[in-house]
Structure 1
Amino acid sequence: MRIPKVLFLAVIVGIGASSSAADLRSSARRGGGMPPVSGPARPVAKAVRPFFSNLTSHTVSSTSPYHPAILRRHYEQAAADKAAGEKFYKLLADYQDRDALVLGYKAASEAIRARDASMFNKLTYVQDAAKTFEQAVGLDPQNPEIRFLRFSVESNLPAFLGLSKHVEEDKEMLLNAALNHPGTGLDAEAFRTVRGFLVGRGHVSEEEAQRLSKVKE
């Protein structure tokens, strides 16, 4: 049975939905095994707890509402709660500066907004997120945190939207970063998160999963 496009958009549980942080931490402890996939999808934002903290260079003051630590906390809360998602979106909706990481989180807030929007507005917010991710990556192409945010969103979009064109590119970057850990600067928590997500959600081959399982934290 064919599902009308607008209805399909309405029933996407979360634009950018996937394993919870608890699932990924459990997966990492098992060496990257498959986390539970039964039950409703859960937002991937919870998988991006204080991660990549050793990698990110930014110009935002520690007292700014756009400081990475604050944005990560908002993202985690927004993943689990509609009201928090609205607050996260409003925090970043008017952001006009050019800090790449902040723009990455703005894109993530737009994707979460799509999750909670009416069926008629979902696609608009997804398209907004795609444009903002493009701007963020253009400003800082080698930032793994931004790539992880984009990958976690795009890898969960339905193919017919045509908005998942960076999945392979971002996956390759994240896979290389994980395989070359710790030489790429990933801290242990960031490595476990990336490995658990790539392996646990089936984004890598069995051979790649085996190689990742042998990488020491």
Structure 2
Amino acid sequence: MSDPTTSPYAIAALRRHYEKAAADEAAGEKFYQLMASYDQRDPVVLGYKGAAEAIKARDASLLEKLRYVQAAAHTFEQAVALNPQNAEVRYLRFSVETNLPSFLGMSKHVEEDRQMLIASLLKHPSSGLDAAGFQTIRNYLLKHGKVSAEEAQKLNGVKS
């Protein structure tokens, strides 16, 4: 059995990969290659695999984009089905779906995920998220204007 802290699929490592991949095409390709070989059923790791597929779509040729977006949607379905209450999985799907063009009709879970994320963050530290996951999700929602002023005030009042 491998040590989860040194595994290439350790959550902390995947968070760093995702952050880098979101900003850089070469990092996106590296992240995709790492995640393409993942074949287990951990919902959070599957969520990162879905995110890697979505990033691959961003950087793919026009003809390949839809294939990767559909693969990401399928992977997110699997991850959410395995653990519907996992805020990190919902955050990953939310961050992808809010960036998809609306004409694709593939952003069906945005409001559901947004509400679930806010509720989870407001329950922190009893949310099931570690401090880093809490900070990442809260910062994303606040920085990208995904919450109302009232929601932002409440989220800013929660200590990590």
Report the TM range for the smaller structure's normalisation.
0.7 to 0.9
Deviations 1:129-154 (A, max 9, x none): 01100011111111111111111111
In structure 2, relative to structure 1, the CA distance for the partners of 1:201 and 1:60 (3 Å cut) is farther
8 Å contact 2:53–2:68 — kept in the other structure? yes
Q: Is 83-92 or 136-145 further displaced after alignment? A: 83-92
**Whole-angstrom CA distance in 2 between matches of 1:94 and 1:132:** 13
Alpha-carbon shift at residue 60 of structure 1 (Å): 6.8
Q: 1:181 aligns with which of 118, 124, 129?
A: 124
In structure 1, distance between residues paired with 2:116 and 2:137: 11
What do you get for the CA RMSD once the two structures are aligned? 2.1
Paired residue for 1:114? 57
> Does residue 140 of structure 2 align to residue 203 of structure 1?
no
TM-score, with length taken from structure 1: 0.65
1:102-121 CA-partner distances (Å, limit 9, x unpaired): 21111111011011111221
Amino acid at match of 1:116: D
Residue 81 of structure 2 is matched in structure 1 by 138
Which of 147, 156, 160 matches 1:213? 156
Instruction: Summarize the Cα distance change of 1:202–1:76 in structure 2 as closer, same or farther, 3 Å threshold.
Output: closer
Partner of 1:98: 41
Question: How far did 1:188 drift?
Answer: 4.2
Supply the AA of the counterpart residue of 2:154: R
Q: Aligned partners of 1:154, 1:179: CA distance in 2, in Å? A: 22
User: For 1:120, what is the secondary structure of its paired residue?
Assistant: helix
Identity of aligned residues (%): 64
Q: What code does the residue aligned with 2:92 have?
A: L
1:30-55 deviation digits (Å, cap 9, x = unpaired)? xxxxxxxxxxxxxxxxxxxxxxxxxx
Task: Provide the rounded CA distance (Å) in 1 between the counterparts of 2:43 and 2:88.
Answer: 10
Tell me which residue corresponds to 1:53: none
Which amino acid counterpart does residue 98 of structure 1 have in structure 2? R
Equivalence map 1:1-217=2 (5 Å): 61-62=3-4, 63-217=6-160
* RCO higher in structure (CA 8 A, sep ≥6): 1
**Alpha-carbon contact 1:60-1:66 (below 8 Å) kept:** no
Structure 1 unaligned blocks of 5 or more: 1-58
**Gaps (5+ residues) in structure 2?**
none
- Structure 2: how far apart are the matches of 1:60 and 1:171? 34
